[in-house]
Amino acid sequence: MTLAVFIIFLLGAMALGIPIAFALIISGIGLMLAMGIFDTQILASNLIQGADNFPLMAIPFFILAGELMNAGGISKRIINFAMACVGHVRGGLGYVAIMASVLFAGLSGSAVADTAALGAILIPMMVSQGYNRNRSAGLIAAGGIIAPIIPPSIPMIVFGVTAGVSITKLFMAGIVPGLILAVFLTITWTIVVRKEKMESKPRKSGKEILKATISAFWALLLPVIIIGGLRGGIFTPTEAAAVAAFYALFVGLVIYRELKFAQLYEVLVAAAKTTSVVMLLAAAAMVSGWLITVANIPGQLTGILEPFMHNQTLLLIIIVFIVLIIGTSMDVTPTILILTPVLMPVVISAGIDPVYFGLIFVLTTCIGLLTPPVGTVLNVAAGVGKIGIDDIVKGVWPFLLAEVIVVFVLIMFPSLVLVPLEWFTK
């Protein structure tokens, strides 16, 4: 009964066009009314507790770091470095996009930010050299999904806080799967561009490659600092975010000197706007999350999925299909905030490693960013690529399929996540 009430209120509010944060609060009120425990103090206290969470402080710092990187010339130098390394290969700009996506992933942790930054620079360049516009935009959109997997990752912070799972371990668990995503995208790109005619850039000389590497050195150093600091226990994820923001500010102002003091206000406002959306969602999710627990909705779901509990692989496949379907109509953060408190008791009862599940879950929700009609990354790539949603769907589907295959590969072979995780967290 309570599960049905929660779903009806949530979907009903969303159908009316109510913002997801308020839809979560409304679904919480619906649950309270159904259980006869309506109390405005419960709403207020849970809203405050939802935002008053130290690990969530990492989110505004990482968002700010991403804004500072784009304004300070760090993004441009990463693309130039990738261009110098692989730009001369047939279909080279596609490989540049994939390589740059991996490097960007180690900087911002936001799929939308990385897609916007890469797309604005690379899509016009690819089209001018004879690349198919739809496919180029599709590749860059798919490459953006690497950002929330390779640390730092904003969705993993949200999942870690909501599920009570170590954010550091989640970060470490994402390194190898993120690289596997890049490999599968590279293979797919190689297949789809075989018959296309396109210009190739001349091979860069050793001197030019060295110059591009030196220029990008400070940008490439940031992922090393973050991952090394986390693995070495030098700082927490929240402290790593503050380090990343300060580092991006210092490099943009002092070393590259492309970031001006006059721009800081605009950068801070942009970061604050994005942060406010995420934090309001987190606060609202605490209301529905608390009531989900009180209403024993996880217990009801466990009862529904009980026939599959003995087979971890089958259970994960069922959960992935559910999340993929939900991902077509809901963004990453609300999906994580709504489903995590419901699914975690099921996962723990089935004996699945919470960190491993977190990686699979976050990756699957991020793939939803590429599926219409909501698909935030898909819409961003279509916007910067100046094409319609129908056109970019035609271009993205081979890469979307490749990323779904990666999810199932990770389910079938958990050691691809768990073995590197054990090594990184020793």
Residue 40, in any domain of the structure: no
How distant is the alpha carbon of residue 305 from its chain centre? 27
Of residues 8 and 398, more confidence is placed in 398
In a domain, 5, yes or no: no
Give the DSSP letter of residue 329. T
Dump pLDDT digits (tens) for 159-206.
Answer: 998 888 998 899 999 999 999 999 999 999 989 887 666 666 677 777
Structural domains in the chain (count): 1
> pLDDT tens across 290-320, in order?
776 676 666 666 677 777 778 889 999 999 9
Instruction: For 208-240, write each residue's pLDDT tens digit.
Output: 888 888 888 888 888 888 878 877 778 788 888
CB 369 within 8 A of CB 147: no
Helix (H, G, I), strand (E, B) or coil at 236: coil
The Cα–Cα gap between 188 and 138 comes to 12
Residue 72 counted as domain residue: yes
- Best mean pLDDT range from 99-103, 139-143, 222-226: 139-143
Q: What is the dihedral of CA 99, 105, 107, 109, to 10 degrees?
A: 160
Residues 197/90, Cβ–Cβ less than 8 Å: no
CA distance 311 to 345: 16
Q: Which residues contact 129 (CB under 8 A, 6 or more apart)?
A: 93, 198, 199, 201
> Is 303 domain-assigned?
yes
Would residue 11 count as lying in a domain?
Answer: no
Residue 74 lies in a domain: yes
> What whole-number distance in Å separates Cα of residue 308 and Cα of residue 304?
9
323 occurs within a structural domain: yes
Residue 374: which domain range?
A: 55-288+296-424
Q: Rounded mean pLDDT of 390-398? A: 88
Largest CA distance in the chain: 73
Does a structural domain hold residue 83? yes
Contact assessment for residue 289 and residue 162, using Cβ atoms and an 8 Å cutoff: yes
DSSP output for 241-275? HHHHHHHHHHIIIIIS----HHHHHHHHHHHHHHH
